Structure 1
Amino acid sequence: MSSDVPNPDDVRAAQVTNARIEDEMEQSYIDYAMSVIAGRALPDVRDGLKPVHRRILYAMHEAGVTSRSAHRKSSSIVGETMGDYHPHGDSAIYDTLARMAQDFSMRYPLVDGQGNFGSVDGDPPAAMRYTEARMAPIAEELLADIERDTVDFQSNYDDRLTEPAVLPSAFPNLLVNGSSGIAVGMSTNVPPHNLREVIDATVELIETPDSTVEDLMEHVKGPDFPTGANIVGRNAVHKAYKTGRGRVRVRAVFDVDEEEGRIVITELPFQQNKARLVERIADDVNEGSIEGIRDLRDESDRDGIRIVVELKRDAMAEVVKNQLLESHLERTFGVINLALVDGAPQVLDLKQTLEHYVEHRRDVVRRRSEHELDERADRAHILEGRLKALDRVDDVVETIQDSADRDAARAALQSGFEFSEAQAEHIVRMQLGSLTSMETEEIEAEYETVTARIERLETILGDPDELDAVIVDELRDIAEEYGDERRTSFIEDAGTVTHEDLIPEEECVVVMSEDDYIKRMPLSTFRAQNRGGKGIIGADLKKGDRVSSVFQANSHDYLLVFTNHGQIYQLKTYEVPEMSRTARGKSAVNLLDMADNEEIEAVVNTDDLADDEFLTMVTRDGYIKRTAAGEFENIRTTGIRAIRLEDGDELVDVEVTDGGTDIVIGSRNGMAIRFDEAEVRAMGRTARGVIGIDLREGDAVAGVAAIDADRHDWVLTVTENGYGKRSDLEEYRKQSRNGMGLIDIKTGERNGPVVAIEAVTYGDHLLAMSGDGQIMRTRVEEVSTVSRNTMGVIVMDLGVGDAVSCVDIVHEAAYAADE
């Protein structure tokens, strides 16, 4: 062989790279791990889908298997997905398709299945040749606008087709439907949530970008599992939302019927196998681990779960219940909020999860608007050409007729009339019938519509706030279309005896001073007196301190405490230290984390508060706001905002209303206005409200009364100098809100300004307390009934320099219990 010709062995040797086997194994394993993480096991934070879910939905979209089409054989859908986008086993694809159709696995199923797709008993789906499927309507929201250049596309596995790298996802699917998966060295387990709650939190984040995780948790109460059940406690949920990890206890819903001697289970924890549960309970009964059960039946049907546990005659139902809870009726859901962010796995808290979604949605809406703007601009350009041609229709027709062919006509139009190439092409293809005057009107109308849309799109693209407003509107539309009520509730762990169990249940009076001293006393300490009495000492205050609030409550009540700063706190009555009436009280700093100069203005008992009722608030400057009771859940120890106040304004009073009551607002100078509650629309917690009463200069709101003509007889008014009166409801004619109202009581030098206005009936007691600590309790019938616009009578005899500071009404039921 010539020396100029290279030796083939040397060439091959030069192409070989030496590598340490441990380094090669390490790198190969990392490559494999990342392939599993990104390509199979973990969802994308933007659309909440793994590749297999995304490919199934896109394949159905491309095949036209939408919610409006007929069902298609599952085997056909699996085949198209596997052949075009997902080169893996058909069984894995079908298992994923089936799970997306199971209403016990997905909070909002993405596939509308027809046939046997498995059961909560762990039964597998029927073979794919027997079942049919199509997209559920909500799944189409994940794919909406995908043809409008809203997301990036990538080549499929054999470069024949393209597939979306992510779906547009018109709602935060990762949190709404959750996800679970095991990758190499990591796993994810995101629980499902209620659609309305997640969208409310997303809107809150868009409108208030500096919202904290705690603020968002006021909307997202916790996981909302498709099988319902109860979450035990809230601490684990809060930890999961703040850190991305947590262990949530989920308990079955059951009813203990001691009279019938049975326990009926109606809801199970998420992902619990019902048939296996019944089998395990039976095994424990046979082995003697659980005693007191004589029969066990599964009476479940299509209407829901019903497992009946029949007890022996001498069995204690509470003991059996505790045994079932310990071993079978409670499971732990380990939250691991792990998702792909820019292709890399990341554990996210609640705010971070929503932030990534919002950024994705902004990109989608921006790209969609740019795409539509280009289309509309092209259309406007064509319409401009048509209008221009119609203005010179005779010349245009003659030019076309004189041309040898279309190309010549197009060139003549461009040169003779300054049409663009696109306009000229469109004109030469127009039919002669398109040159009528009626056609001109239609083109002009379309041109106006197109130009108006172009202006709107340019506004959206030029103003981030407008773009966000589009996202918010679309989210709210989806919440309205697909939202439903929560299925999973919260309960406290009542498995052991608590301090509350050891406290006797009794009616109490709670007193708080301006210097934040607080105490409670039995209501029986203050017997009813005739009006005009001085009362008895209710608090021995230190020098310079004065009583700021007094209210009546049961020792076991859970109370919502509203302050003049518009904050709301939650308080258990028994947590307030019980002391004698001559005691000063103890510092409230350990009970209510109130700011300086913050005082209690109103207290609402949560035991009397229904979900369909409202908390109606009034401020010193005359504003009124009505908020649904459900908005005031998950109250933190530091309180939450109940109403947004303008500078200098304060919250004055709060009443519970049911949507059909009348409102009476009383002012310090003795004015009052009555109007229908419906005139104040329901608003969110952070709203300011609307004007309820038009106050004269120097006047301020004293309080509000909620009147139900079927329950109340009079309006009771009390003034600072200890005078008051009762007036019939008919004395206060209805008006429209935002009026000045009518004279309620003459104030002046004798009476002083109004302190409180209340709706009362027979049997109610008036509890009045002075700033110096005197408390007087009297029957409301002791206060004379007089007409409106009068002076009233003496209610409480005050000492020199003393004044009525606060008033509460003890209703007949509490009075009866006290007696």
Structure 2
Amino acid sequence: MSSEPPVDPQDVRAAQIDRVRIEDEMEQSYIDYAMSVIAGRALPDVRDGLKPVHRRILYAMHEMGVTSNTSHRKSSSVVGETMGDYHPHGDQAIYDTLVNMAQEFSMRYPLVDGQGNFGSMDGDPAAAPRYTEARMADIAEELLADIEKDTVDFSANYDDRLTEPDVLPAAYPNLLVNGSTGIAVGMSTKVPPHNLGEVIDATIELIDDPDATVADLMEHVKGPDFPTGANIVGRNSVRKAYTTGRGRVRVRAEMDIEEFGNDRQRIVVTELPYQENKARIVERIANDVNEGLIEGVSDLRDESDREGVRVVIELKRGANVDVVKNQLLEHHLESTFGVINLALVDGQPKVLTLKETLEHYIDHRKEVVTRRSQFDLDEAEARAHILEGRLTALENVESVVETIRESEDRDAAKTALRNAYDFSEEQAEHIVRMQLGSLTSMEAAEIEDEYEDVQATIERLNEILDSEQELLDVIKDELREIKDKYDDERRTGFVEDTGSVTHEDLIPEEESVVVLSEDDYIKRMPAADFRAQNRGGKGIIGTDLKEGDRVSSVFVASTHDYLLCFTDKGRVYQLKTYQVPEMGRTARGKSAVNVLDLDDDEELTAVVNTDDLTGDEYLTMVTEGGYVKRTAGDEFDNILSTGIRAISLEEGDALADVQVTDGDRHLVIGTRDGMAIRFDEDEVRAMGRTARGVRGINLEGDDRVAGLAAIDEEHHNWVLTVTEHGYGKRTDLDQYRKQSRNGKGLIDIKTNDRNGPVCALETVTYGDHLFAMSAEGQIMRTRVEDISTIGRNTMGVTVMDLDEGDTVAAVDVLTAERVSGERTADDAASTDGDDADEEGEAADDAE
């Protein structure tokens, strides 16, 4: 009897459990998920330009035999076959992709030939898959050509029943020809379509001259060629997209001016920018006409049909057609296509230039043609081997027949033939199966001719495999054949970026200072009216306030800038700087209701220049109560005249500051009592506009957040802190120890009755100019390098000399880049500025 204690089942189960850190498991699981989406769902392969779902649909149609020369099949049949064998991610996703490949306004060269309702440019959805039919388009078959000749690798499908191609042979550079759009995890791709002939010419150019530059290739590839036509504005943006892999291409509708009736004109839109919804554009134009934003329009109608787009805008008698046309372009008929040439290269996402894209395609075709040639060579040599045996048999036909007749059975006959004539197993097998009719002299002549042809084929295939130049010549010849078969004229033209005279053109582009008071008076003044003076000066008068009114906001912007104006209530408005009335320094301004539709108790707290925003950047906001959030910049593309919600606020909280960030910044939140906390931006996940955010700093007592600085560690930036009593300082980022968000932070600046609470935090660098405005209307402009760089636990130095009872109301920074571009304004500067300089020189450096 054993003396060992019985095994506890719980101990057995415990031994089967691995202990892991939740952080490590979440990180690895998320990375695995992200890579699965990136490589398996959302991004195209640089070699064939297809995402997996596109590739699987085409391969399923190929396996079904639904090619361009067969009858159409129900779309539901194609979808079901694709989902059942290759893509188990839902029939709707597959059908949406199939529809997209059949839409002539979506694909420059549609890969699917559809019958039935496949949607429209008005955003109408396609009919259900049971009502539509599809088959492969001619040009799609070129992507699959020679796939049965071991030209590409195959992998097991999702249930290991079948195999599917990892990539298609792709007889033309489909990534550039048809483009691609996809959103993965943390990245996205947006490759515009191009003209097939131009891309093929550029590919041949690069084959002939591997040292060709992007500029050389652009001699062939003029720019994107959209299926909806329209015009690209200027060529610099295209050049940037091709040389860097990223760019923003402006696309403008094609319009004609027609005369009709009694001295009247109409604007006829015949081509629209790519991926724009025609019905929505017409609706927006109609709304602007009804609201009086577009004047001079008498009628608007959509006369589009299957032949093309035709939107008619009839003008009133005497209306200025150029003004209306420019208004339409500014708001409705011009859009921006953001190029992100991101594709999978060896399974890894990479942003590619035009040259790199074509180089990877050429490498792919070299491998395809090499593998195809080797496959054909193996088959040709096998056939030549059989023909050699047949020719030998024909030369000895009587003895061969006699040998076969004398053999007991077929196996004995094969053995006898192999012994007598040194035939291989394959040759002997073929000979014993020959029919007597093949022994005629005519049949023998045909075999000899075929043998000569096969030998010539073998010789040619060996040449291709032995010489890279021969291989490249084959690739070029096949590309030329594709071009001859499918090439067509460009649809998208180019227009110079000369523009037309508009109201905006009549406004000189210059840096301006915009002032808003608590009683909602607003105005702008040229920034050049304020000369930079030494710190510690009183500044000069910036506005004439009525009794009891005080300055609430000041910001610096170019007259042509589009601005996002954030208020303490968490709303955001869009403003063109020149829309603010320009007035002199001693003027009061005009009512802000004519410019911004603010509530009575709503004040601006931050202004962001939309020119700074790209699809990869964020608006990072902080509230007075210490909450912080990031929202993608593209969520602020369409802002109503009445504003939109930018952040949800708790009762008693208010938006304190907003900064543009790129995901890699260091955030420093400063409070009115002089505390500051630094943490990495990625500690705050991206959220929607209506989210509240997460805790950024843990405030003590009745302390409130004063501002936010977003620092780029690669550049020499400082955190600039300014207090209400006119004190300030610059501090290096490394003075702020990095912490996790929601901490109490460190002392940033000593605040007391002398320097007062903190009113602003800014990010500054060499060459920036600081504009500080007092509540009583004085404006002080100074160079930031004149403000001392000192440590955290100090009071700062005098930045602005304030009168008794006055305080700093707001500050803003004019960046060094914009300072250098500012117009010379010695004449514009007043003598008050000279007096202020003298006062500034006497300022003390108290700490």
2:266 to 262, 276, 283: 262
Q: Secondary structure at the match of 1:375?
A: helix
Kindly indicate whether the alpha-carbon contact (under 8 Å) linking 2:214 and 2:354 is maintained by their aligned counterparts in 1: yes
Residue matched to 1:30: 31
Q: Deviations over 1:295-338 (max 9, x none)?
A: 10111111111111011113111111111111001000000000
**Distance across 1 between alignment mates of 2:353 and 2:45:** 15
Deviation at 1:370, TM superposition (A): 0.1
- Segments of 5+ residues of structure 1 without an aligned counterpart are 502-819
Residue matched to 1:637: none
Judged with a 3 Å threshold, the aligned counterparts in structure 2 of structure 1 residues 4 and 415 are, in CA distance, closer, same or farther, namely farther
Judged with a 3 Å threshold, the aligned counterparts in structure 2 of structure 1 residues 261 and 147 are, in CA distance, closer, same or farther, namely same
Residue 94 in structure 1 maps to residue 95 in structure 2:
yes
2:394 to 370, 374, 390: 390
Percent sequence identity over aligned pairs: 76
Deviation at 1:6, TM superposition (A): 5.2
Which amino acid letter does the alignment assign opposite residue 326 of structure 1?
E
Deviation at 1:351, TM superposition (A): 0.4
Deviation at 1:248, TM superposition (A): 0.2
Which amino acid letter does the alignment assign opposite residue 244 of structure 1?
G
**Distance across 2 between alignment mates of 1:59 and 1:268:** 34
Residue matched to 1:375: 379
Residue matched to 1:252: 253
Q: Secondary structure at the match of 2:147?
A: coil
Residue 434 in structure 1 maps to residue 455 in structure 2:
no
Deviation at 1:11, TM superposition (A): 3.4
Which amino acid letter does the alignment assign opposite residue 328 of structure 1?
H
Deviation at 1:22, TM superposition (A): 1.4
Residue matched to 1:739: none
Kindly indicate whether the alpha-carbon contact (under 8 Å) linking 2:326 and 2:500 is maintained by their aligned counterparts in 1: no
Q: Secondary structure at the match of 2:102?
A: coil
Residue matched to 1:142: 143
Which amino acid letter does the alignment assign opposite residue 116 of structure 1?
N
Residue matched to 1:118: 119
**Distance across 2 between alignment mates of 1:454 and 1:471:** 18
Deviation at 1:122, TM superposition (A): 0.6
Deviation at 1:262, TM superposition (A): 1.1
Q: Secondary structure at the match of 1:469?
A: helix
**Distance across 2 between alignment mates of 1:98 and 1:187:** 21
**Distance across 1 between alignment mates of 2:324 and 2:313:** 10
Which amino acid letter does the alignment assign opposite residue 86 of structure 1?
H
Residue matched to 1:57: 58
**Distance across 2 between alignment mates of 1:425 and 1:249:** 69
Residue matched to 2:40: 39
Q: Deviations over 1:419-444 (max 9, x none)?
A: 01100000011111111111111110
Q: Secondary structure at the match of 2:312?
A: strand
**Distance across 1 between alignment mates of 2:494 and 2:285:** 25
Equivalent residues in 2 for 1:510-589 (5 A)?
none
Which amino acid letter does the alignment assign opposite residue 118 of structure 2?
F
Moved more, 11-20 or 185-194: 11-20
Equivalent residues in 2 for 1:592-671 (5 A)?
none
**Distance across 1 between alignment mates of 2:312 and 2:407:** 90
Residue matched to 2:768: none
Deviation at 1:496, TM superposition (A): 4.3
Residue matched to 1:415: 419
Residue matched to 2:284: 280
Residue matched to 2:310: 306
**Distance across 1 between alignment mates of 2:417 and 2:3:** 73
Judged with a 3 Å threshold, the aligned counterparts in structure 2 of structure 1 residues 251 and 16 are, in CA distance, closer, same or farther, namely same
Residue matched to 2:353: 349
Deviation at 1:15, TM superposition (A): 2.5
CA RMSD of aligned residues (A): 1.5
Residue 444 in structure 1 maps to residue 445 in structure 2:
no
**Distance across 1 between alignment mates of 2:473 and 2:147:** 20
Moved more, 404-413 or 3-12: 3-12
**Distance across 2 between alignment mates of 1:170 and 1:65:** 19
**Distance across 1 between alignment mates of 2:258 and 2:393:** 85
Q: How many residues align?
A: 500
Q: Deviations over 1:260-301 (max 9, x none)?
A: 321111100001111111000001111111111111011111
Residue matched to 2:73: 72
Residue matched to 2:192: 191
Deviation at 1:4, TM superposition (A): 7.8
Q: Deviations over 1:233-281 (max 9, x none)?
A: 0000000000000000000000134653211111000011111110000
Deviation at 1:113, TM superposition (A): 0.3
Which amino acid letter does the alignment assign opposite residue 309 of structure 1?
I
**Distance across 1 between alignment mates of 2:479 and 2:3:** 78
Equivalent residues in 2 for 1:313-328 (5 A)?
313-328=317-332
Q: Deviations over 1:708-738 (max 9, x none)?
A: xxxxxxxxxxxxxxxxxxxxxxxxxxxxxxx
Residue matched to 2:233: 232
**Distance across 2 between alignment mates of 1:497 and 1:280:** 23
Q: Deviations over 1:72-119 (max 9, x none)?
A: 000000000000111011011001001100000000000000000000
**Distance across 1 between alignment mates of 2:393 and 2:145:** 38
Judged with a 3 Å threshold, the aligned counterparts in structure 2 of structure 1 residues 329 and 388 are, in CA distance, closer, same or farther, namely same
Residue matched to 1:495: 499
Kindly indicate whether the alpha-carbon contact (under 8 Å) linking 2:190 and 2:340 is maintained by their aligned counterparts in 1: yes
Q: Secondary structure at the match of 2:120?
A: coil
**Distance across 2 between alignment mates of 1:181 and 1:425:** 55
Judged with a 3 Å threshold, the aligned counterparts in structure 2 of structure 1 residues 69 and 13 are, in CA distance, closer, same or farther, namely same
Residue 241 in structure 1 maps to residue 242 in structure 2:
yes
Deviation at 1:5, TM superposition (A): 6.7
Q: Deviations over 1:440-491 (max 9, x none)?
A: 1111000000000000000000000000000000000000100000000010
**Distance across 1 between alignment mates of 2:487 and 2:5:** 80
Residue matched to 2:49: 48
Q: Secondary structure at the match of 1:295?
A: strand
TM, length-normalised to structure 1: 0.60
1:362 to 355, 361, 366: 366
Judged with a 3 Å threshold, the aligned counterparts in structure 2 of structure 1 residues 306 and 419 are, in CA distance, closer, same or farther, namely same
Residue matched to 1:16: 17
